[in-house]
Amino acid sequence: MNCNSLVAQRKRVLKALEESAGGLTTIELREQHDCMSPAPRIFELRHHYGKRIETNYSYDFNAQGNGHRVARYVLLTANS
């Protein structure tokens, strides 16, 4: 069984961001990493765990082919 607690979602989001060089969109975090509300998890990672995460906005398509304005979250390293 996949755990969808807030703790589990935060861990998945952080791991996914750490493994992604170009960041991840809201759609990617929802569809590929099972986090239905990425924005609150990003807020928590920033404000409660001190992670430096940049937000950029773009236009992307979901699995159904519908276009959306989405956030792209990028985890910044100590060197960025």
- Report the pLDDT averaged over residues 66-78: 94
With respect to residue 46, please indicate whether it lies within any of the assigned structural domains. yes
Global pTM reads 0.88
* pLDDT for the residue 2: 67
Sole residue written with tokens 């100590």: 78
- What distance in Å separates the CA atoms of residue 75 and residue 64, rounded to the nearest whole number? 27
With respect to residue 16, please indicate whether it lies within any of the assigned structural domains. yes
- Report the pLDDT averaged over residues 21-31: 95
Per-residue pLDDT of 28-55, as tens digits, reads 999 999 999 999 999 999 999 999 999 9
pLDDT grade for 80, boundaries at 50, 70 and 90: low
With respect to residue 29, please indicate whether it lies within any of the assigned structural domains. yes
- What distance in Å separates the CA atoms of residue 49 and residue 22, rounded to the nearest whole number? 21
Domain that holds residue 40: 6-75
* pLDDT for the residue 1: 46
Q: What's the structural domain count of the chain? A: 1
